[in-house]
Structure 1
């Protein structure tokens, strides 16, 4: 529980940075990495987005220049093997945005954004169908500050 709270605090700090220059965003994107991790703890909520069928709960924590993020989407399967294939309700992946720029696709519910520079940053976590179209209202935007 403490770990999740720490993750949530870190992501909030990270999301606050609003860059005005695409060159700066590209420079940041080149320096960071996103690492998927396995998590077995599907409880607690910091931010919640809902559509009629699903909800998205996100916990995050900032540790140094890294943001630990855990997503909980009930009755949803993260699927790398079906990306680009026919949509199946309750299946898909995550699109991760940093300061308004899409930086990667993620196929696990938990991941780490590593190596963010000091300052405020905005992260958007969007749940997408197999064909990359977003699920309606299944996204969260986080603001984090990196020391």
Structure 2
């Protein structure tokens, strides 16, 4: 019996590791470009679809945009434009959430400076 205990633990570790490597862990990155008082945003999200009817993926979600700590809008596309920002510095936060607004734990924050 004692002989089989280390073997059983090793097998459980292998099953545990293989189970996690076969699943796709979501990742999130953001690029932005300022054009006047607009910010063009491009997001790369892996493992999560923005299409509500996408049955191929297990995870479906949307982006929530926060400007200066206040919720600004919900976005269901990976590329979009933030329009009519006032001149000055703005802290932007993008958060990937489920359709019921439960967070996936994926967020990016950055600061933009809109020229006068």
Q: Any gaps of 5 or more consecutive residues in structure 1?
A: 1-51, 83-87
Larger Rg: 2
In the alignment, does 2:84 pair up with 1:112?
no
- The answer to which structure, 1 or 2, has the higher relative contact order (CA under 8 A, 6+ apart) is 1
For normalisation by structure 2, the TM-score amounts to: 0.71
Partners of 1:80 and 1:107 in 2: CA distance: 9
**Aligned residue runs from structure 1 range 74-89, under 5 A:** 74-79=46-51, 89=58
Cα deviation 1:48-96 (Å, max 9, x = unaligned): xxxx9211011100000000000001132103569xxxxx842110000
| Per-residue Cα deviation, 1:19-65 (whole angstroms, up to 9, x for no partner) | xxxxxxxxxxxxxxxxxxxxxxxxxxxxxxxxx92110111000000
- Unmatched 5+ residue regions in structure 2? 1-23
Runs of 4 or more, structure 1, over 2 Å off, are 79-82
- TM-aligned CA distance change 1:100 to 1:81, over 3 Å: farther
Cα RMSD over matched residues? 1.9
After TM superposition, the structure 1 = structure 2 runs for residues 43-82 of structure 1, keeping only pairs within 5 Å, are 53-79=25-51
